[in-house]
Amino acid sequence: MSGVITDVFAQEGKSNLTHIGLIYPLSTNGKTAQLDTNDFSLHLIAGISRQENNFLIAGVAGIVKGDAKGTMISGVYNQVGGHAKGVQVAGLINRIQQDAEGAQIAGLINQSGRAQGIQIAGLMNRSGDATTQVAGLVNVAKRVSGVQVAGLINIAEQSDYPIGILNFIKEGEQQIGIAVDEEGSTTVALRSGGRVLYGIVGLGYNFKHEEARYVVEAGIGAHLVSAGAFRLNAEVASAAMTNFEDGVYGKQRLGVLAGFRITPGIELFAGPTLNHLLTESDQTDLRDSRYLWSWDGDDVHSGFFVGGMVGVQFSL
């Protein structure tokens, strides 16, 4: 039996304009389909080939033993054993054994040895070196030259532009800090990211307003200027404040914060913020009408005001 299998794989495959089938080996290429190169493949359930040059579409799975060029579209799963150049679209998973050049779009997971282009996944992207990754939950890579965007976590050895709530970048930084703002909210926050961008997630308590006692905050920041112990950061964040009884106060802030490292692991920071407060009309106004601009509708109250924050953070 082993000799028969060896003989089959030793055969040189054919080059075909089309490959049409139901599921291997029920196709126009038959039992030797895995040896063949095709320009166009169409499979009701699943297909297999040595190489695809232009276009493959499969109802469930497309499997290419070697390289794939052009476009692959499968309802569930795409697999390429060699290099992929072009676009791979799968309802659940794209798996490229070696390099992927172009775009990978999957409902759940993209995986490749190296991704030169963009990976978009509903759940997770995993690659060696990557250009751009966009995932609903998690991105994992070695070195990322472009942007990582994740709904929750980015992981990389190097990534200067991660956009996520938690960013574990080996050559980046993670800091835990405590800050107080103009409304008396004291927040403990984790700032994690790369050389340029970082994510913010925090929990806090307001000592001034009983109606907005508990605080949850998330956002994104950017290191604008770094010069020795000094740096200037810009942050955009959104907070929800409530006592779990009288509704929720929504607060969004845009701040420019100056930081100074008093030791390599301790940084003091402070700066002005422009804030937007949004509440239901029947809730207590936290600002006592001290607004730059405010508006009252039938159901909501909205206003902008200037504030500030000051804090200290520690490198992890």
Q: Which two tokens stand for residue 184?
A: 């008396």
Residue 8 pLDDT: 41
Question: Would you state the pLDDT for residue 92?
Answer: 97
Q: How far is CA 108 from the centre of its chain?
A: 13
Phi first, then psi, for residue 9 (nearest 5°) are: -75, -20
- DSSP class of residue 288 equals T
Contact 232, 259 (CB under 8 A): yes
pLDDT at 11: 57
Q: What is the residue-level pLDDT of the chain in tens, covering all 316 positions?
A: 444 334 444 456 899 999 999 999 999 999 999 999 999 999 999 999 999 999 999 999 999 999 999 999 999 999 999 999 999 999 999 999 999 999 999 999 999 999 999 999 999 999 999 999 999 999 999 999 999 999 999 999 999 999 999 999 999 999 999 999 998 999 999 999 999 999 999 999 999 899 999 999 999 999 999 999 999 999 999 999 999 988 899 999 999 999 999 999 999 999 999 999 999 988 888 887 789 999 988 899 999 999 999 999 999 9
| pLDDT at 1 (0 to 100) | 40
Residue of 189, 142, 184, 186 lying closest to 166 (CA atoms): 189
Sequence-separated (6 or more) residues with CB below 8 Å from residue 311:
177, 178, 179, 180, 268, 269, 270
Q: How do 130-135 and 143-150 pair as beta strands?
A: parallel
The answer to whether 302 touches 278, Cβ cutoff 8 Å, is yes
Domains of the chain: 2-169 (no CATH), 173-315 (2.40.160.20)
